[in-house]
Amino acid sequence: MTTEHDVPIPYMQRTRDYYLALGYGAYRWAHFAEVPFTPLRTPLSRARVGLITTAAPFQPEAGDQGPGAPYNAAAKFYQVYSVSTESVPDLRISHVGYDRLHTSAKDINTYFPLARMREAVAAGRIGALAPRFHGAPTNRSQRETTERDLPELLRRCQEDSVDAAVLAPS
Amino acid sequence: MSLAARHLEANGISTVIMGCAKDIVEHCGVPRFLFSDFPLGNSAGRPFDVPSQTQTLELALQVLESAPAPRTTVQSPLRWSEDAAWKRDYNDLTKLSPEKIAERRREFEVVKAVAKGKREAT
């Protein structure tokens, strides 16, 4: 047995209550009845796998993006970006609402699993990585996400000829 | 991210989301989801704990390979800490005085203006 509050945090309720208390209207999260499904058609050990992140490349001019930095809207990005999976990128999450009280973003591997995915390729678990990973903007406008960013993300994943993608939000 | 998974999947690319916000991802509806009951920011495992990161990725890969249908969620057996008290703190209004709430509102207005400026400049 565990305690009553030991359940996944009800983020929508907490966030809704919080912004109402601050004097704002309720945000509506995306919600669908139908969910698409494409079974993995290639065994993973022969599949080419992509990686998509919401983390942002470090921008020297954009202020404090270090571990534990306060929410930094200047570090946000609004266009899909792509970087070689051969590189060791410096990606930060100061532009999103991670749990600054209970974690610190000191270790990139907690929100960006590229190093672990490379190991999975070396171990033969994954066939290959896509040549690049992609950054997806965390835009509050679902319309802009749907009409502009998602088609661009799909186009890039198709160019990479991936069979599957791992998506790691931060 | 949930919208991205749906869009890729609808166009023939299999996806798995590694995430910490169970209600938000499931409310949207995604094909496959490995849920870690960790503070936001740790969707790929614990900090400086390679075995936990390896285990988290491996679970996600198994979900990718074997989910029988959309909306498959698997919860990682890993625990953030023995004590679940951390779950009470996220946006906890009971700890905020009216003065503090007013201050948070002022801060949020600044953040919104900065984000707007950046978006319009992009």
> CA-CA distances (angstroms) from residue B99 to A19, A43, A105, B18, B102?
15, 57, 29, 37, 5
Contacts of A81 in chain B (CB under 8 A): none
What integer best gives the mean pLDDT of chain A?
94
**Tens-place pLDDT, residues A9-63:** 999 999 999 999 999 988 889 999 999 999 999 999 999 999 999 999 999 999 9
B91 and A17: CB-CB below 8 Å? yes
Mean pLDDT for the stretch of residues A106-119 = 98
Q: Please check whether residue B82 touches A, CB under 8 A.
A: no
pLDDT value of residue A108? 97
Chain A residue closest to B32 (CA)? A37
pLDDT value of residue B94? 87
A62-67: long-range contacts at Cβ-Cβ below 8 A with a sequence spacing of 24 or more? A64/A94, A65/A92, A65/A94, A65/A95, A66/A92, A66/A94, A67/A104, A67/A105, A67/A106
**Tens-place pLDDT, residues A69-94:** 999 999 999 999 999 999 999 999 99
pTM above 0.90, yes or no: yes
- Cβ atoms within 10 Å, residue A169: 28
Mean pLDDT for the stretch of residues B1-15 = 97
Q: Is the pLDDT of residue A140 over 90?
A: no
What integer best gives the mean pLDDT of chain B?
95
| Annotated domain spans of chain A | 42-168
Q: Please check whether residue B33 touches A, CB under 8 A.
A: no
pLDDT value of residue B95? 85
Q: Please check whether residue A38 touches B, CB under 8 A.
A: yes
Task: List Cβ neighbours of A64 (8 Å cut-off, separation of 6 or more).
Answer: A70, A72, A94
A23 and B118: CB-CB below 8 Å? no
Closest Cα partner for A109 from A130, A91, A127? A91
Contacts of A119 in chain B (CB under 8 A): 54
| Annotated domain spans of chain B | 2-81, 91-122
